[in-house]
């Protein structure tokens, strides 16, 4: 009798990339949701029994399941049923107006119409939609459509009235209502959006669970087996936690989730703490993650806080959401309470604020291996990279931003700053552990696009931004697998296909190591295996 049990699944017949620096395999045995053994088919033949399920790679590539280290599962799921204006879906203002008008007819007067994803740089008019255009499309409905970055949106007159925003309104701290000739244009920026969100219909528990399930299934179709939800509470405060918990208990959470709770005055953190939650609570399927604070906005929307002005707009440098001392106090307090810290910071001024806040918090309450994260961390300076290394700060970048917004970055920030943005190679080579993500639904959550960017630094129009920041494919895969696990304190259970690790795999339709880089954009995920179970099967082969 063999000393080994019989494998539940035997993966064979292709190339199995098990993790950076690990020997590759051509066969993998899975047992009780974990990797039992790796080697060649003949090495593992003794592990196959009558009940062993065979997964024949037929020359394809298997990799550890991808981890999206920064996305928004609930907004992805809710967004799958909202009006979607993401380019190339909307490239003309008329398409937005027509879709809003059609939705008004469908829903009837009074109902909120919610859309997302427009990018004014990709619209024929090269500007945000106007309040009046949305009024004409839906005179009897409140309408709010968010820009692709989520940091701003356009409200029509009904929505402004519903939110109690008069023409003479003052801008709130950290936000703005755009005006032209003394009249509101409908554009609502940064924290001013909270005024609109307050009156928008909140998804209920059922809607939230449906969103989690819908989004999770979508993630599986992208080869993602784990995600970091970078903002639990964004849409429905602490109710989102109850939805996650119920989804988990009823088998409706399709992917592993590490949950980052929104901090700040309007976040879900206070309720999370009152409920006794803290980073680390949970299991390998769902775990409480960090507290997330916002230091600034987005580069494309010109609200990311920079130390040097944007190129376009009269010396503007973006905006910080909080004063330094406010940020420092919030970060120190939750760090001392035992939470991992995650700070959204895109511009170098915001990244600087985040680094100082983290350093002060660590100094006041030293904690080995605190793994603070800076989310996005796009326009980081060389000196800041050194400080991040010293403090053990994890960058959580979105390579896909270069694909989708790279040309826009050049427009608003110039070439030098855009070339140096999201410095995957410098981080990797200087010993930091960048954990790649997508920020979906802001950008596509297809990890193959992120891998393509890391290997080529190409925008979707083919421009190369900073060729010195390219990474070899294996290093790029590492950022999308092991580093994501590390950013969630989960490197002992997932992120590689070492023996004993969770049996989470993605099978790609071609061997990415032997195709031209352009092939990465055409590649598809054929199979996704989570905990040894096939959860996505594009071709229905099994």
When asked if residue 240 is in the footprint of Zn ion (CB under 5 A), the reply is: no
| Least Å from the CB of residue 296 to Zn ion | 12
| Least Å from the CB of residue 453 to Zn ion | 17
- The three-state secondary structure class of 483 is helix
| Least Å from the CB of residue 230 to Zn ion | 5
Helix H or strand E encompassing 262: strand 256-262
Q: Which stretch binds Zn ion (CB under 5 A): 37-45, 111-119, 225-233, 387-395?
A: 225-233
End-to-end CA distance of the chain: 30
CB of 230 or CB of 394, closer to Zn ion = 230
Taking CB atoms, the residue at the shortest distance from Zn ion is: 439
**Residue whose structure tokens are 């920026």:** 189
Q: For 201, what's the count of Cα atoms within 13 Å in the CB-facing half-sphere?
A: 15
CB of 439 or CB of 475, closer to Zn ion = 439
CB of 7 or CB of 345, closer to Zn ion = 345
What residues between 13 and 42 interact with Zn ion by CB under 5 A? none
Cα 304 to Cα 500: distance, rounded to the nearest angstrom: 42
Count residues near Zn ion (CB under 5 A).
2
Torsion, CA 172, CA 177, CA 183, CA 185, rounded to 10: -170
CB of 230 or CB of 321, closer to Zn ion = 230
Cβ partners under 8 Å of residue 190, min gap 6: 151, 152, 174, 175, 176, 297, 303, 319, 321
Q: Which stretch binds Zn ion (CB under 5 A): 185-193, 222-230, 386-394, 427-435?
A: 222-230
- Cβ distance 378 to 421 under 8 Å? yes
| Least Å from the CB of residue 298 to Zn ion | 10
- Going by C-alpha positions, the residue among 280, 215, 279, 205 that lies closest to residue 245 is 205
| Least Å from the CB of residue 398 to Zn ion | 8
Render 320-381 in DSSP notation, one character per residue.
-SS-HHHHHHHHHHHHHTT--EEEEE-SHHHHHHHHHHHHHHHHHS--TT---EEEE-TT--
What residues between 182 and 201 interact with Zn ion by CB under 5 A? none
CB of 60 or CB of 373, closer to Zn ion = 373
| Least Å from the CB of residue 377 to Zn ion | 12
CB of 38 or CB of 345, closer to Zn ion = 345
Backbone angles phi, psi at 75, to 5 degrees: -60, -35
Cα 162 to Cα 164: distance, rounded to the nearest angstrom: 5
Helix H or strand E encompassing 410: helix 400-413
Q: Which stretch binds Zn ion (CB under 5 A): 3-11, 97-105, 229-237, 281-289?
A: 229-237
What residues between 135 and 164 interact with Zn ion by CB under 5 A? none
CB of 149 or CB of 187, closer to Zn ion = 149
Cβ partners under 8 Å of residue 326, min gap 6: none
When asked if residue 404 is in the footprint of Zn ion (CB under 5 A), the reply is: no
CB of 230 or CB of 485, closer to Zn ion = 230
CB of 446 or CB of 470, closer to Zn ion = 446
Cα 13 to Cα 211: distance, rounded to the nearest angstrom: 37
| Least Å from the CB of residue 229 to Zn ion | 9
| Least Å from the CB of residue 75 to Zn ion | 9
Pairing status of strand 183-190 against strand 224-232: unpaired
Q: Where are the beta strands (DSSP E) in 265-335?
A: 286-294
CB of 480 or CB of 536, closer to Zn ion = 480
CB of 19 or CB of 434, closer to Zn ion = 434
| Least Å from the CB of residue 322 to Zn ion | 17
| Least Å from the CB of residue 215 to Zn ion | 14
Number of other CB atoms surrounding residue 182 within 10 Å: 7
Cα 270 to Cα 260: distance, rounded to the nearest angstrom: 13
Q: Which stretch binds Zn ion (CB under 5 A): 56-64, 230-238, 327-335, 459-467?
A: 230-238
Measured CA to CA in angstroms, residue 114 lies from 107, 310, 465 at distances of 11, 30, 34
Q: Which stretch binds Zn ion (CB under 5 A): 51-59, 226-234, 241-249, 379-387?
A: 226-234
- The three-state secondary structure class of 541 is coil
Binding mask 428-467 for Zn ion (x = CB under 5 A): -----------x----------------------------
CB of 68 or CB of 439, closer to Zn ion = 439
**Residue whose structure tokens are 């996650």:** 244
| Least Å from the CB of residue 70 to Zn ion | 6
| Least Å from the CB of residue 293 to Zn ion | 12
Give the tokens for residue 401.
């931003």
Cα 341 to Cα 358: distance, rounded to the nearest angstrom: 8
Cα 216 to Cα 200: distance, rounded to the nearest angstrom: 25
Q: Which stretch binds Zn ion (CB under 5 A): 57-65, 228-236, 391-399, 525-533?
A: 228-236
When asked if residue 230 is in the footprint of Zn ion (CB under 5 A), the reply is: yes
Binding site for Zn ion (CB under 5 A): 230, 439
């Amino acid at each position: 009798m063999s000393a080994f049990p019989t494998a539940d699944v035997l993966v064979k017949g292709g190339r199995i990339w098990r993790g950076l620096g690990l020997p590759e395999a051509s066969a993998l045995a899975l047992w009780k949701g974990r990797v039992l053994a790796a080697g060649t088919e003949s090495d593992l033949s003794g592990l196959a029994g009558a009940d062993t399920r065979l997964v024949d790679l037929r020359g394809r590539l298997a990799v550890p399941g991808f981890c999206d280290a920064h996305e928004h599962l609930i907004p992805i799921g809710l967004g799958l049923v909202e009006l979607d204006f993401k380019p190339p879906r909307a490239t003309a203002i008329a398409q937005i107006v027509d879709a809003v008008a059609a939705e008004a007819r469908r829903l009837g007067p009074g109902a909120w119409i919610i859309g997302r994803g427009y990018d004014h740089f990709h619209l024929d008019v090269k500007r945000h939609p106007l309040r009046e255009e949305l009024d004409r499309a839906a005179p009897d409905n409140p309408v709010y459509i968010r820009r692709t970055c989520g940091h701003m949106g356009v409200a029509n007159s009904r929505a402004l009235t519903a939110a109690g925003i008069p023409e003479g309104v003052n801008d709130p701290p950290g936000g703005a209502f755009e005006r032209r000739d003394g009249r509101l244009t409908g554009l609502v920026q940064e924290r001013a959006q909270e005024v609109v969100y307050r009156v928008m219909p909140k998804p209920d528990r059922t809607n939230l669970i449906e969103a989690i399930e819908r989004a999770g299934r979508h993630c599986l179709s992208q080869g993602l087996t784990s995600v970091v939800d970078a903002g639990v509470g964004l849409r429905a405060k602490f109710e989102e936690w109850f939805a996650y918990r119920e989804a988990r208990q009823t088998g409706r959470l399709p992917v592993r989730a590490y949950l980052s709770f929104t901090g700040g005055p309007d976040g879900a953190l206070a309720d999370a703490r009152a409920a006794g939650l803290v980073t680390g609570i949970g299991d390998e399927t769902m775990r409480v993650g960090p507290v997330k604070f916002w230091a600034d906005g987005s580069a494309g929307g010109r609200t990311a806080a920079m130390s040097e002005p944007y190129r376009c707009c009269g010396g503007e440098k973006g905006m910080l959401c909080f004063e330094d001392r406010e940020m420092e106090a919030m970060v120190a307090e939750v760090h001392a309470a035992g939470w991992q810290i995650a700070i959204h910071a895109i511009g170098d001024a915001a990244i600087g604020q985040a680094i100082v806040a983290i350093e002060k918090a660590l100094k006041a309450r030293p904690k080995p291996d605190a793994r603070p994260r800076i989310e996005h961390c796009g326009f980081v300076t060389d000196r800041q990279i050194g400080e991040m290394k010293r403090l053990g700060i994890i960058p959580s970048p979105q390579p896909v931003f270069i694909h989708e917004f790279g040309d826009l970055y050049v427009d608003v920030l110039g070439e030098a700053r855009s070339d140096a943005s999201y410095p995957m190679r410098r981080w990797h080579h200087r010993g930091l552990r960048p954990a790649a993500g997508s920020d979906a639904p802001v950008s596509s959550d297809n990890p193959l696009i992120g891998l393509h960017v890391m290997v080529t630094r190409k925008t979707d129009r083919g421009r190369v931004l900073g060729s010195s920041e390219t990474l070899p494919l294996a290093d790029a895969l590492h950022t999308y697998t092991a580093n994501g696990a590390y950013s969630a304190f989960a490197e002992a259970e997932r992120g590689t296909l070492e023996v004993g690790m969770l049996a989470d795999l993605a099978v790609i339709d071609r061997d990415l190591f032997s195709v031209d880089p352009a092939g990465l954009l055409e590649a598809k995920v054929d199979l996704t295996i989570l905990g040894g179970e096939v959860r996505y099967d594009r071709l229905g082969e099994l």
